Amino acid sequence: MLRSMRKNLKSLAPVLWFVIIAFIISIFAVWGGGSIGGGGKNIIARIGKEKISRDFYYSSLVQRLQAMSNEYKELDANFIQQLNIPQQVLEQIVQRTLLLQRAKDMGLKVSDDEIAAKIKSYPVFQKNGNFAGFEQYQKILSWNRISISEFEKSLESEILIDKVIKSTTAGVIITEDEVWENYKKNTESARLEYAVLDDKSIKLETEPKEAELTEYFNTKKDNYRLPERREAEYIFFKTDELKPEIQVSEKEISKYYNENEAQFKEPEQTRVSRIYFSFEGKDKELVRTEAGNIINRLEKDEDFSVLAEIYSQDDKASSKGDWGLFEWRNLPAKEQEAIKTLAKDQYSELIESEDGFSILKVTEKKPERLTLVEQLTDRITTILKDQKARGVAEQKIAQFEKNARKEKSLDVAAQKLGYKIKNTGLLKQGDIIEDIDPSGSISSSLFSLKNNGLSSPIYTYKGAGLAQLKKIEEPRPASYEEVKEQVKTDFTAEKKKSVALEKMNRFKAEFNRSDFDKLAEKYKMEYKSVEEHKRGQYLGTVGENQTIDSLAFSLDLNDISDPIEFENGYTIIRVLDRKVITKEDFTKEKESEKEKLLESKKNKFFQSFLAKLREDKNIKIRYDVFLKVNSDVLSRFSKEGEE
């Protein structure tokens, strides 16, 4: 480390493991292992002249998922895909690379003193708010198998990125009028009640007739166009069909287990109970005395759970104060820190937080445990079969691609090798092919091909394939028969909207100031109320609606609006009360509001800057490599027994 910091040697009690691990993961989940560089098929992205290796992306993705697996016990391939984790990891790598390139272009540097200050700022390296010394700093990194040079290099990058952000947004300013309008938006509120008539609740007496549908289509022809569609022949090797012939040896299972122990560790588990005393609206010292009396009773061996059920003032009192194995991690940071110091069956001293006092008890504590390989045989076998099957699929598709390119025909190559080709039918970009391509990778690849062109190998979670474009259908107006079902859906929706509007108008005509909710019930409308509606806020069932936002602050109190259309129906609102702020209120909060708005405006500006930077650098992603790496990594997270 830096020489100046090596002189500062102080002792520190052992830092809690999970704090260190969470800290390290938060950095290296983005920075990852591996290196940037490489060539040929090992490249996943090019950002200007810089290359991102597939190994670097692979390592980053694996580390992110390993970190997540400690939090999500049921983490599997489908859940990972739903959260778009692979896309997020790649995007973070791209953004980081862009910003470091920008720092280099700007000639920015980082001094030793800046790195030293950054290290000292992390709580994990502190004791009582001060840096704990080089010796402890070194120990913490050593415990986590991270070299000092590697760690400090990562900090240098972080500081450079921070400098780019600050210099880029330095010119962003805001006016007092902007602050005032934003303050009103965030502070003023209206108490509303409203009646909603959703299209789904409208039942039409008769089905639409064919003549009605054709007339509707003819009057709205311009709304019905078919986008460009493409058709291809393809061959696909499914991993599931290759697995039955694959064998996995005990030696391979043992090797995989030894190389991936972290994947099979059950993290430390702690169950926590709490007795909470709120001092909101009360004399703080009286509450402290009350809580102290409970500690005295605990010292006399009274049952913690019984006292929690009687005296705790949070929503866990009915559960005898039990915050479970994980939910306690939502407690204030001060309480979480105290929990980490407690042994099983030990309770804390009185802990003061922002709005109350707490007494905490650890009721269960299980150390980190490594599951035995004997208990994981089926799971590891499934993973290895999947990996091997992917390898076989890749080999087959690579060999088939050579033959197809030689013959310049997918069909001819397939006949010579005894394979059967299939036809995609006409597909829009992003359309899925059931059973083999749930993400639409095949259809998307077709839109980068010329007619009769062969794709590169396409990797999906289900296997590997190759396609040859056979037909391009240009965008064109649709015929009635081609969009008949959509026409029926649109016609029905419009008809229901008309019925809903008619009902709403009758509701308004009949309205009496005292029976809004009863009238809503009579007309079979959904009645709702909201205590504090603010501009731009989501309104239940209706969503965000500018008309409602405007009326909420302009309609006379207790009057009702005209019917207001939203995507799925109509609503009528009634304003019961308003909270309106004054310039005097604003003056008290102006500086803090200005700071928040400026930060928000800087963030938006920087996102625009980053988007422009992306355009200028001509970023190219090799999605075939991206999908292949994702398939390899996600195979580790297949459910047990999934074949």
Please tell me the predicted confidence (pLDDT) of residue 566.
93
Give the CA distances from residue 298 to residues 315, 344, 579, 593, 617, in Å, rounded to whole numbers and listed in that order: 21, 15, 46, 46, 65
Q: Are residues 67 and 35 located together in one domain of the fold? A: yes
pLDDT in tens, 29-46: 333 333 333 345 688 999
Give the CA distances from residue 497 to residues 11, 82, 491, 493, 611, in Å, rounded to whole numbers and listed in that order: 72, 34, 10, 6, 40
Residue 94 is part of a domain; what is its CATH number?
1.10.4030.10
Spatial separation of the C-alpha atoms in residues 359 and 352, rounded to whole Å: 9
Q: Are residues 550 and 571 located together in one domain of the fold? A: yes
Looking at the predicted structure, is the pLDDT value of residue 594 above 70? yes
Please tell me the predicted confidence (pLDDT) of residue 33.
30
Spatial separation of the C-alpha atoms in residues 532 and 526, rounded to whole Å: 19
Please tell me the predicted confidence (pLDDT) of residue 508.
93
pLDDT in tens, 459-484: 887 889 999 999 999 999 999 999 99
What residues form DSSP beta bridges with 192?
A: 530, 575
8-state DSSP, 410 = H
What residues form DSSP beta bridges with 609?
A: none
3-state SS string over 79-142? HHHHCCHHHHHHHHHHHHHHHHHHHHHCCCCCCHHHHHHHHHHCHHHEECCEECEHHHHHHHHH
Q: Are residues 93 and 48 located together in one domain of the fold? A: yes
Please tell me the predicted confidence (pLDDT) of residue 40.
52
Q: Are residues 203 and 302 located together in one domain of the fold? A: no
Q: Which of 441, 442, 466, 436 lies closest to 239, judged by CA?
A: 436
Q: Which of 47, 164, 119 lies closest to 619, judged by CA?
A: 47
What mean pLDDT is predicted for residues 224-241? 94
Q: Are residues 234 and 337 located together in one domain of the fold? A: no
Residue with tokens 């778009």: 84
* Position 257 in a domain: no
Spatial separation of the C-alpha atoms in residues 19 and 284, rounded to whole Å: 32
Q: Are residues 206 and 144 located together in one domain of the fold? A: no
What mean pLDDT is predicted for residues 442-467? 91
Give the CA distances from residue 150 to residues 34, 156, 606, in Å, rounded to whole numbers and listed in that order: 12, 10, 28
- What is the domain extent for residue 396? 229-242+387-474
What mean pLDDT is predicted for residues 527-547? 91
8-state DSSP, 355 = S
Of 474, 491, 513, the residue at which a domain comes to its end is 474
pLDDT class of 514 with cuts at 50, 70, 90? low
Please tell me the predicted confidence (pLDDT) of residue 429.
92
1-5, 140-144, 590-594: which range is least confident on average?
A: 1-5
Amino acid at 211: A
* Position 524 in a domain: yes
pLDDT class of 417 with cuts at 50, 70, 90? very high
Looking at the predicted structure, is the pLDDT value of residue 392 above 90? yes
Q: If DSSP codes are grouped into helix, strand and coil, which group holds residue 37?
A: coil
**Do 60 and 30 touch, CB atoms closer than 8 A?**
yes
pLDDT in tens, 235-253: 999 999 999 999 999 999 9
Q: Are residues 123 and 236 located together in one domain of the fold? A: no
Residue 453 is part of a domain; what is its CATH number?
3.10.50
What mean pLDDT is predicted for residues 129-143? 82
Q: If DSSP codes are grouped into helix, strand and coil, which group holds residue 237?
A: strand
Q: Are residues 150 and 64 located together in one domain of the fold? A: yes
Please tell me the predicted confidence (pLDDT) of residue 504.
94
What mean pLDDT is predicted for residues 623-628? 80
Strand order in the sheet with 564-566: 526-533, 189-198, 569-579, 564-566
Q: If DSSP codes are grouped into helix, strand and coil, which group holds residue 599?
A: helix
Looking at the predicted structure, is the pLDDT value of residue 16 above 70? no
* Position 618 in a domain: yes
Spatial separation of the C-alpha atoms in residues 156 and 113, rounded to whole Å: 11
pLDDT in tens, 285-309: 899 999 999 999 999 999 999 999 9
Q: Which of 357, 363, 364 lies closest to 334, judged by CA?
A: 357
* Position 599 in a domain: no
Q: Which of 68, 546, 359 lies closest to 538, judged by CA?
A: 546
Q: What is the mean pLDDT of the chain?
A: 85
Task: Count the domains in the chain.
Answer: 4
Q: Are residues 316 and 448 located together in one domain of the fold? A: no
Mark out the alpha helices in 122-268 (DSSP H runs). 134-143, 148-169, 176-187, 210-219, 239-242, 250-259
pLDDT in tens, 544-569: 999 999 999 999 999 999 999 999 89
Of 445, 474, 503, the residue at which a domain comes to its end is 474
Q: Which of 15, 65, 57, 14 lies closest to 35, judged by CA?
A: 57
Please tell me the predicted confidence (pLDDT) of residue 11.
30
Please tell me the predicted confidence (pLDDT) of residue 369.
83
**Do 553 and 188 touch, CB atoms closer than 8 A?**
yes
Give the CA distances from residue 508 to residues 180, 194, 497, 511, in Å, rounded to whole numbers and listed in that order: 35, 12, 16, 5
Please tell me the predicted confidence (pLDDT) of residue 282.
84
Q: Are residues 20 and 95 located together in one domain of the fold? A: yes
Of 474, 508, 540, the residue at which a domain comes to its end is 474
* Position 248 in a domain: no
* Position 32 in a domain: yes
Token duo for residue 415: 């006949």
Percent of the chain with pLDDT over 90: 50
The reported pTM is 0.57
* Position 196 in a domain: yes
* Position 180 in a domain: no
No. of H helices and E strands in the chain? 23, 20
DSSP string over 278-342:
E-TTS-HHHHHHHHHHHHHHHHTT--HHHHHHHH--STTGGGTTB-TTTGGGGS-HHHHHHHHTP
Token duo for residue 78: 């489908």
Q: Are residues 281 and 237 located together in one domain of the fold? A: no
Q: Which of 102, 100, 94, 32 lies closest to 620, judged by CA?
A: 94
Token duo for residue 166: 């600050």
Q: Are residues 28 and 161 located together in one domain of the fold? A: yes
8-state DSSP, 396 = H
Torsion over CA: 436, 437, 441, 443 (sign): positive
Please tell me the predicted confidence (pLDDT) of residue 128.
74
